[in-house]
Amino acid sequence: MLHRVVKIENMDGRFFQLFESEFDMKATLLCLAGSSLLLLGSVVSTVQAAKFNRKVDVGDAAPLWSKLKGVDGKRHSLKDYRRAKLLVVIFICNHCPATKLYQQRLQSFVKKYRKSGVRLVAVSSSLFPADGFEQMKTHAKKQGFNFDYLHDPSQTAARSYGVTHTPQVFLLDEKRKIAYMGAFDDNKDAGKVEDHYLRDAVNALLNGKRPEVGESLQFGCKLEYK
């Protein structure tokens, strides 16, 4: 059984895992409704039909996208990455404080898994002025991005993947089916990470196994749609 992860965030920003299995989900939420644990903070998000994504689910074929302009000046499509053994599609943007905290982690991830045939491509669907294409080029160069950074001004790609926040991750397997989706890891503070969701999912697939956690609750900056 694939696991889904829901956490509660307390006043100092730390995350606590409440349950993992879908079986426990409804019962746990009912208990929390009357529990003093809620006084510690607030539930990060509500659960809709035992999912955190209303558009796609683990096991679905990845929605196709095409001709997204990259900061390299080229047009990119999902099929262009067909040689990659595994593909990570992550939705980010320039202005988001949460995304900024993950920039180094993304680059370290790319370096670590490049030889294993894992590719990462970032997509920005934000309509904020700070996230325009020219600003994206400047930002990518300044940060030294070692991955493709694509512009989705129509927000078509984001809508098809059910993106709600930045950063939000989708790990695609060799058949380009969604093997994991949600958060990169469990804490914005790199020094406090306990659950490396994406890393663990990638390692599982590379070893011919199914990721233990197929979905986690994404967090960060809310993506505004037009």
Read off φ and ψ for residue 28, nearest 5 degrees: -65, -45
pLDDT digits (tens, 9 = 90+) for 119-168: 999 999 999 999 999 999 999 999 999 999 999 999 999 999 999 999 99
- 50 has a pLDDT exceeding 90: no
With 0-12 / 13-18 / 19 or more C-beta atoms within 10 angstroms meaning exposed / middle / buried, residue 220 is: buried
Confidence category of residue 22, pLDDT binned at 50, 70, 90: very low
Position 199 scores a pLDDT of 98
Q: How far apart are CA 22 and CA 132, in angstroms?
A: 39
Domains of the chain: 54-222 (3.40.30.10)
Position 157 scores a pLDDT of 98
Per-residue pLDDT averaged across 80-84, rounded? 97
Position 7 scores a pLDDT of 52
Closest residue by Cα to residue 87 from 202, 217, 216 = 202
Q: How far apart are the first and last CA of the chain?
A: 37
Closest residue by Cα to residue 173 from 89, 76, 66, 67 = 89
Q: What are the residues whose beta carbons fall under 8 Å from the beta carbon of 162, sequence distance 6 or more?
A: 53, 54, 55, 56
Mean of the per-residue pLDDT values of the chain: 84
Per-residue pLDDT averaged across 14-18, rounded? 37
- 20 has a pLDDT exceeding 60: no
* pTM metric for this prediction: 0.81
Position 223 scores a pLDDT of 98
**Maximum CA pair distance of the chain?**
54
